[in-house]
Chains A and B, each alone.
Chain A
Amino acid sequence: MRREYFRWAQRLFDPAQIHAKPEALNGIRVLDLSVIIFGPATADFLGELGAEVIKVELPGQGDVTRILGGASFFWKNVSLAFFPQNHSKYHVGIDMHKPAGQALIRKLAARSDVVIENFRAGTCEERFGIGYRQLREVNPRLIYVANTGFGQWGPFARGRASYDGLAQAVSGLTAITGTPGEHPTKIGNYIGDWYGASMSAVGALAALRWRDRTGEGQFVEMAQCEGLLRAMDWTWLYAGVTKRDRPRIGNRDPVFSPSGVYPCKDGFVALVAGSDAEFRGLLRMLGKTAWARDRRFRGVESRRKPESADALDGAIRAWCEKRTRRAIDSAARRFGVPVGRVMTGKDHYESQHLRARRSVWEYEDPVYGTMVEYGPAPKLSATPARIKWAGKPVGFHNEFVLKKILGLSDEEIQALAVEGVVGKWADRVGPKPPDGWQGEGSLL
C-alpha cells in the first residue's frame, strides 16, 4: 500500500512534467523596485510561482549584490550573491532619481498587479513620487508591498536602516541562539531577509485573494525585525509568564530529549529521539537496551531532566565519534531514529534526493551556461513552481520591456538612453555580462 502511495506521489509531482504544467500566478505582473535580498527575494518567490517579474535597477551599477564579495566570490563577471533572489526576471535599467524615470515607473505600475520595494519608509513617495498613494492613483487595483527593517511608522521607523544581522540582534533571536557565555552567534545565512521575504510574499498573495474577491488593491508591509520576533515560538509567552529570558542552551532542543549535534569521523550529525518509540530505537542502536528499564530514562519527562539528558548525550557522543555520517545515517534509518547529517553545499550538490525533487535545480542558462541552484521550496502538483532562467546583466531586457509593455519606439528608447533615464550595464564586474558573451539570450 505504502509503496503504491509513493509511486502515485512520484507521478503526481513528476519533475519531468514541471514545464508542461500551468503556473499558479500566470498573468500576474510584479514590478520589483527593490535591492539586495529582502525585496528581490519576495519578487523571486512570486516569480517562481509564475508571476512575470520586472526588476528595475539603476543603470550602470545595478543592484548592489552584483558587486559584493571577496575575489573568489565572483564568477562570470558577477558576484554569486546576486543569483539566489533573481530568477526568471526581466531586467530593466531605469533611473528613478529622474522625473522621466519616475514617469516610466508610474506607467509600468499602471500595468502591474504588484509593486515591491524595500527603501526606507517614505522614500518612494517623498523622494521618487512613486509611493503607494501616487501609484494607486494610476492603478486602484495595485497591491503595493513595502519591506523594511522596522516598519513604515513607529519610533524606529524614522530614518533607521536595517540589515538582517541587525534584525537578528534587536529581535532577541541572537540572544536565544548559541552557547551560554560565548560571543553572540551570527546566524550563517540572512535568515531575516529570507523568512521575511517568504512572509512578505504570503502577504502579497493574501491581498491578491482579497482582490480576486473584491477588486480592491491595498498596501502591505512586512518588517524584517517583526518577522523574526514572530518566529520565536514561545519566547514571549515565557517572558510573560516567568518574567525571565528564555535561556540559551546551545545545540540541545529545548523540548525534545535526548537531542544534540554530535561530531563524527567526517563531520557532524543532529540527532533527536523525542518519543518513546524513537528512544527505544536509539537504545537498540547504541547497544544500551538495558537502559530501557533505567528509572532515569522512563518517560519523556524523566529524559528531559538535565542529569538524564547529560548521560544520554555522553553515550550518543561516544557512539557517533567512532562512525561516519553515512554509517550513522543508515543505522538511524534501520532503528527509526531521527538523524540529520549536517549537510554542506557539496552534500546538497551531490544529493540524489534533492536533485530528484528539483530542490537542487540544474538548468542551462543562455548567458551563464549550466547553473545549479536551490529550487522552489513548495511543490505544487498542478501548478509547480519553477526556475526558467538566471539573473541577467543590468538592463538586459530594456528593449523588450519598454516595447512590449510600454509600447515605446526605438527612437523614444534611444532618446531616454541619451538622457540617462534608461540604461544598461556599465563596463565593470558586477553589472556586465560574462566575457565572450555574444548576445545569447537577447529577446530583441
Chain B
Amino acid sequence: MSGPVPWYDWIRAEEDPARVSEKPEALDDLVVLDVSQGHYGAFLCGTYLAELGAEVIKVEPPGGDPVRRWGPADATVNGTGLAFVAEARNKYCVTLNLGKPSGRRLLKGLAARADVLVEGFRPGYLDGLGLGYRQLARMNPRLVYVACSAYGQFGPDAPRQAAEYDLTDQALSGLMHVTGDPDGPPIRVGSWVSAYAQAAWATLGVLAALHWRESSGRGQMIDVSGVEALLRYMEYTVLLYHATGQVRGRMGLYELAVFPYTFVRVKDGYAFIAGYTDPNFQAICRVMGRPELAKDSRFSTTIQRTHPEHEILLRQEIEKWSITLTADEILEKVMADPGPGIIVFGPMNPPTRVLEEGHWWERGCFKKVRDPLYGELLLQMPAWRMTRTPPRLTWACRPVGFHNAHVYRKYFGFGPERLAELGDQGVL
C-alpha cells in the first residue's frame, strides 16, 4: 500500500540531505588501501569507496602524491592543486616510502589487514617490488586488488609502459572520434571523464568481488583500463562496422538514430531540445505553434526525421522559433504543454549558472564546506541517493602524512618515537 503520504514527500524525507549522518554507511566494515600515485582514476576509485563508508587509507610517497599538484595554473587551495582537493575527501592520508625495504614491509602489514587495494602504477611495477597481487594474495587470500592502467594487465599491448592520460584514453576509446563536427577535428570532453568512468568500473568490480567473497571466502584481482572504461560506453560503434561496414563518424549537432535531439540557439544562448518518437515530436510541433510540421512527409516518422538532410532542415525550423524566445520562456511553454508526448528541453548552462539553480542545492548536489586547513571549499557531493545507507562527505582533504600517527598506531601500535625514527630513516 502506498500509505497516506504522497511518494514525492515520502522519498524527499527519506533522502533528506540534512539527515544523512543519522544513518549507517554501506561499506563501513571495509578497509581500503589507495596506493595510487599520479593516477586520477585509481584515486577516484578510493574516493567513491570512501564516500560509501569504507576506511580508505591513502598511501603516498613522503613528498606526496603528484596529483596534489594537478589543477589549473591560475588557482590553488593552500598551495594544493584543485584536482586533488576536489576529490581527496574522507581519506586517511599517510606517507610510506615503497623504495625502502621497511616501507614495503609496512605496506604488506597494511595489506594483510585490508579488504581492498587500489593502484594505478604501470603494469608489473608493484609486482616488481614484491607488492603485486600474487605476493599480497599469498598473505591475504581475501584481498581484492584493483589495478588501473591504460592498456590493462594482459593482452599484446599491456607491456607498453605508457602513463595513462585522459586525453589518450578519450582518443583510443573512440569517444573523441565521434565527438565534434564532421568537417572539424575530433573534440575532447572537457573534464577527465575517462578517470571517472574507470573509477566507476573499478568500484563496480570491487563490490561484485566483495559479494562473491561472502560465499567463496576468496579475493581476486581486477584489471581496469581507462580506455576500455570509455570503450564500453561506445554503444554500437563496433557492431555497426561488423554488421554493415559503416564507420561511425562525427555528427556534430546531428544524430544517427534519433531526431530532433540537438542544440539550438535561443535568445539568450543555446539550449538542448529533443522529442524523437512520434508523440514527442508532435508535442514539439504543438508548442512551436507548427502542428503541420508533424505531418510533413519529411518529418512524420522516426526514419524520415533521421534522414541526414531532413535533420538539417528540421533543426533550422526549430531554430527559427527558438531564437525568438529565451530558454526560460521556452521551458515555461514546455512545462505548460498538456501532452500527449514529452519534450525534453533545457538551457546550456555554464558552471556559474548551474550553481545558481536552486534544484541542485536543495538536493544537496553541492556543499560549501569551511575546512579548518583548506578554508572555504565548494564541493560536488556523492551522486547516489540511498534511503538506508546514504553516501556522504565527512572531511574534504588532508595534507601529506596528516594521519600517520593515527593509522600507524591503529595498525602497528607505533608511538611518536617510532614514528620519528621512521621519519628520520625516510620511510614515512
Contact = CB atoms under 8 A, between A and B. Distances in A.
A155 B365 CA distance: 13
Interface stretch (A246-254, A393-401, A407-415): A246-254
A2 B128 contact: yes
Contacts of A189: 175, 178-179, 233-235
Given A70-B303, A153-B12, A250-B187, A356 B200 contact: no
A188 B179 contact: yes
Interface stretch (A103-111, A289-297, A380-388): A380-388
Given A191-B189, A340-B170, A348-B174, 14 more contacts: A13-B153, A50-B208, A73-B306, A122-B7, A151-B363, A153-B15, A157-B8, A169-B270, A169-B346, A231-B196, A241-B77, A249-B190, A371-B239, A379-B152
B83 interface: yes
Contacts of A217: 388
Interface string B154-178: 1111111111111111111111111
Contacts of A170: 272, 346-349, 354, 357
B325 interface: no
B186 interface: yes
Interface in B37-52: 40, 48, 52
A246 B191 CA distance: 10
Contacts of B306: 68-70, 73
Contacts of B329: none
B389 A341 contact: no
Interface string B128-146: 1000111000000000000
B7 A126 contact: yes
A134 B350 CA distance: 40
B262 interface: yes
Contacts of B253: 183-184, 186
Contact of A72 (B3, B174, B190, B246): B246
Contacts of B83: 233-234, 255
A125 interface: yes
Contacts of A354: 155, 228, 231
Contact of B379 (A12, A219, A237, A342): A237
Contacts of B343: 161
A210 B207 CA distance: 11
Contacts of A420: none
A13 B70 CA distance: 33
A172 B248 contact: no
B240 interface: yes
Interface in A210-243: 210, 212-213, 216-223, 226-227, 229-243
The DSSP consensus for interface residues of chain A is mixed
B344 A69 contact: no
Interface stretch (A52-60, A90-98, A197-205, A436-444): A197-205
A2 B190 contact: no
B225 interface: yes
A101 interface: no
Nearest to B259: A70
B412 interface: no
B209 A380 contact: yes
A212 B214 contact: yes
B190 A173 contact: yes
A49 B200 CA distance: 14
B328 interface: no
B359 A150 contact: yes
A206 interface: yes
Contacts of B387: 218-220
Interface in B201-238: 201-205, 207-212, 214, 216, 218-225, 227-229, 231-238
B302 interface: yes
A320 interface: no
A359 interface: yes
B243 interface: yes
A357 B29 CA distance: 33
A268 B186 contact: yes
Contacts of B346: 162, 166, 169-170
Contacts of B391: 206
Contacts of A17: none
Contacts of A186: 179, 251-253, 262-263
Contacts of A246: 72, 190, 351
A195 interface: yes
Nearest to A10: B154
Among the interface residues A9, A183, A251, A348, which one has the most CB atoms of the partner chain B within 10 A? Answer: A9
B258 interface: yes
Given A209-B26, A234-B86, A345 B237 contact: yes
A352 B157 CA distance: 9
B208 A165 contact: no
A331 interface: no
Nearest to B166: A253
Contact of A353 (B24, B155, B234, B355): B155
B18 interface: no
Given A45-B204, A347-B174, A245 B220 contact: no
Contacts of B350: 172, 175, 245
A229 B228 contact: no
Nearest to B227: A340
B57 interface: no
A179 B187 contact: yes
Interface in A55-89: 64, 67-73, 75-76, 79-81, 83-84
A373 interface: yes
Interface in A1-35: 1-3, 5-6, 8-10, 12-13, 22, 24-25, 28
Contact of A336 (B72, B132, B151, B162): B162
Contacts of A304: 73
A194 interface: yes
B71 interface: yes
B339 to A, nearest CB: 10
List the 5 closest A-B pairs by CB distance, nearest first.
A240-B378, A188-B178, A340-B168, A176-B190, A378-B205
Interface string B180-194: 100001111111110
Interface string B380-398: 1111111111010000000
B123 interface: yes
Nearest to A120: B342
Contact of A218 (B127, B164, B244, B389): B389
